Structure 1
Amino acid sequence: MIANFFNKTKPIVFFILASLLFVYYILAIANFKFEAFSFLWLAQQFGFFVLIIGFLLISSFIIKKNTLTQNNSYALLLLVLLLGTFYEAMFDVPIVIANVFLLLGFRKVYSLRTISATKLKLFDAGFWFGVAALFYAWSIIFVLLIYVALIIFERINVKNLIRPIVGVITPIFIYFIYCFAFGSVNDFYNCWEFNFNVNYTSYNNLKLLLPISVSLAAVIWSIVTLTPKVSVSGIHIKRAWRIVLNHLIFAAIIIAFAPIKNGSEMLFMIFPFSVIITNYLRISPSENFKNLLLYLFLILSISVYFL
């Protein structure tokens, strides 16, 4: 059964999941994204897929390094299934690039649980979030997650408050100098057009309505079930849980204001969704329920290509 197979981390699991992701990618191209064939087009598609694999690898590293879940592959499985479900996310290049850089920043934020190299972590987190914002302006909201982490990990002091700001400003200033030097300052200003859209009628489409409804129901149920249990756990677990929840909140804000609502914006939500639901699956005593939930996400990820 699917729950039993992904209950452990094995080298073959990542290969299987990468292959499944490739199948989703090919299905999406064949059904919705195919253009006139050329070697340039083929190279672009290959490059996009490499970015997605990078997203998966960095997510896996963050989860394992910071023990956000136990020793299982449910989070990676859910990441792949959700990517397959919200297939538009695999083809929106600015959002994919922004999320890869955001993950590099999240890696530093979550690692603040240890006291080593705090100064560098704060600068690096701000730096990567600043780079991400150059590709997708709303990404700048995640800078607030750094300060939430400082509060949660009790690292508040004047220098620590300033370091993320310096980190954020650094890539933005470098890009401004680059644009100024080559007479393309307008390109810099265009990066900071915070266009927004609060019209959610596109979510009435079954391709989005069904997976969003199921994902929200699963994550809300997981939060309601897990939070009381986490509150009586060790301090490290409680702190990590609070950061994941705040991560989810900031992702929801970005999605709420995203100018284009076609499913690609859901990429911001996939990481915290997967971590939260995985932790619920970990405590679920019923193997049948685990299988049911995972098969439900699998069926959803396939059905969107036929709705």
Structure 2
Amino acid sequence: MISNFFSQSKPINFVVVSFLLLTVFVLTKHFNLEIDLSLFFISKQIVLFGVCLFSVFVFDFLVNKNNLTKKNSYRILLFVLFFAILPETILNSKTLLANLFVLFAIRRIISVRTKKDVKKKLFDASFWITLAACLHFWTLLFFALIIAALIVYVIVDIKNWLIPITGFATVMIIVLSYLILTQQDFTEVFNMELIQVSFDFSPLNSKRIIIGSTLIFSFGLWSMFYYLKNLKSKTKSLRPSYTLIIVAVIIGLLIIVLSPVKNGGEFIFMFAPLSIIITNYFEVTSEKWFKETLLWVLLLTPLAILLL
């Protein structure tokens, strides 16, 4: 049974998930891109797959390090299955890299709970979020997650509240220095197009995206009910971290709504928090047949979508 196999965290689980990700990556590129077997194309795809795979390991590390789920492989399986269900997320290299930077930031934000090296963690988080924003502007909304962390972890020192500004400024100084050295026009890089908002969802009007997003949101909403219900049962030290995951879901949803270019790639920013929430549901549900059914639905949906 799939649920039993992934109920533990073993090296074989990582091997299986990595192979599944490779299969999804290759098939997505094969069906959606004109393959040019040049050295540049192959090298680029290897790097992009490396970003995808590294994102999985970074995600698993941040969850495991902060005890956001129990010791199992459901979280990484769900994370990869979301790529399979919405393969558009693999096609955009900028959002792939931006999501990796966001995962770096979330890891540092949640680790603030230890109250150790708080200033360094806040600086790192703001630095990574600003880097992500250089690739996808609306990831700047994850600065709200830093503010939420300062509130739920009761960080009252005003100096800590100013640290994220220095992280943002550092990236901006680096970018401006690069533009000066390369003699590029500032007005062409920093213009109002950066902060465009679009509420036109017609680009998402395809069977594949509709079915995939509906499935993910349905499972996420169902699991969220149990996640909120069991939030009070968490230890006092861990409860703020679980609350931040809810904030991250809301931010991911806002990015989908506000993004000026809607091609399905923007859904990637919800994969990590939703994987955590659904994994928590898998851990508390006593109905093994239902959990098994949900996993089979998630596994078979990408195959069904390919036939559309």
2:196 is the alignment partner of 1:195:
yes
User: Could you say which residue in structure 2 is the equivalent of 1:304?
Assistant: 305
1:289-300 superposed matches below 5 A: 289-300=290-301
| Equivalent residue, structure 2, for 1:163 | 163
> Is residue 272 of structure 1 aligned with residue 256 of structure 2?
no
Q: Post-superposition shift, 1:264?
A: 0.8
2: CA distance between counterparts of 1:107 and 1:239? Answer: 14
Correspondence 1:156-235 to 2 at 5 A? 156-186=156-186, 188-189=189-190, 193-235=194-236
1:56–1:190 CA distance, 2 compared to 1 (3 A): farther
Cα shift at 1:195? 2.5
Tell whether the 8 Å contact from 2:29 to 2:91 is kept in structure 1 after alignment: no
Give SS of 1:90's match.
Answer: helix
Distance 2:261 2:45 in 1: 21
The residue type equivalent to 2:161 in the other structure is L
The share of aligned pairs that are identical, in percent, is: 29
CA distance in 1, matches of 2:237, 2:39: 50
In 1, the alpha carbon distance for the partners of 2:191 and 2:55 equals 26
Tell me the distance in 2 between the aligned counterparts of 1:188 and 1:157: 36
- Tell me how far apart the structure 2 counterparts of residues 160 and 151 of structure 1 sit (CA, whole Å): 11
Shift of 1:123: 0.8
Tell me by how many angstroms 1:39 deviates.
Answer: 1.7
Distance 2:76 2:20 in 1: 11
Corresponding position of 1:100: 100
How many angstroms apart in 2 are the aligned matches of 1:233 and 1:54? Answer: 29
Cα separation, partners in 2 of 1:225 and 1:264, compared to 1, 3 Å? same
Q: TM-score, normalised by structure 2?
A: 0.96
Look up the equivalent residue of 1:163 and give its one-letter code: I
- Distance of 1:43 and 1:182 partners within structure 2: 26
Query: Does structure 1 conserve the Cα–Cα contact (< 8 Å) formed by 2:86 and 2:213?
Result: no
**Paired residues for 1:108-127 under 5 Å:** 108-127=108-127
AA aligned opposite 2:11: P
1:46 is paired with a residue whose SS is: helix
Matched, 1:58 2:55: no
Distance 1:226 1:269 in 2: 16
**Cα distance, 1:273–1:85 mapped onto 2, change above 3 Å:** same
Corresponding residue number in structure 2 for 1:151: 151
1:228-267 to structure 2, matched below 5 A, reads 228-267=229-268
Assess if the C-alpha contact under 8 Å between 1:48 and 1:91 holds in 2: no
Residues 97-139 of structure 1, C-alpha deviations (whole Å, 9 max, x = no match)? 1111111111100101101111111111111111111111111
Between 1:88-97 and 1:7-16, the stretch displaced more is: 88-97
> Which residue number in structure 2 is paired with residue 11 of structure 1?
11
Check conservation: 2:99, 2:269, Cα contact below 8 A: yes
Q: Distance in 1 between matches of 2:164 and 2:98?
A: 18
The runs of at least 4 consecutive aligned structure 1 residues that moved more than 3 Å come to 185-188
- For residue 22 of structure 2, what is the aligned residue in structure 1? 22
Q: Which runs of 5+ in 1 are unaligned?
A: none
The alpha-carbon distance between structure 1 residues 44 and 222, as it changes in their structure 2 partners (threshold 3 A), is: same
User: Is 1:76–2:76 an aligned residue pair?
Assistant: yes
Q: Deviations over 1:204-237 (max 9, x none)?
A: 3220111211211111111112212212432123
2:73 & 2:137 partners in 1: Cα distance? 32
Q: Deviations over 1:228-263 (max 9, x none)?
A: 221243212321221000001111111111122221
Change (3 A) 1:124 1:223: same
Determine if contact 2:105/2:128 at 8 Å carries over to the other structure.
yes
Distance in 2 between residues matched to 1:158 and 1:302, nearest whole Å: 52
- Bigger shift: residues 186-195 or 214-223: 186-195
* Aligned-partner Cα distance in 1 for 2:217–2:36: 37
Distance in 2 between residues matched to 1:229 and 1:47, nearest whole Å = 40
Q: Which amino acid aligns with 2:14?
A: F
**Distance in 1 between residues matched to 2:215 and 2:30, nearest whole Å:** 26
Q: Residues 298 and 190 of structure 1: is their aligned pair in 2 closer, same or farther, counting only changes over 3 Å?
A: farther
Instruction: Give the corresponding residue for 1:283.
Output: 284
C-alpha RMSD of the superposition: 1.5
Corresponding residue of 2:47: 47
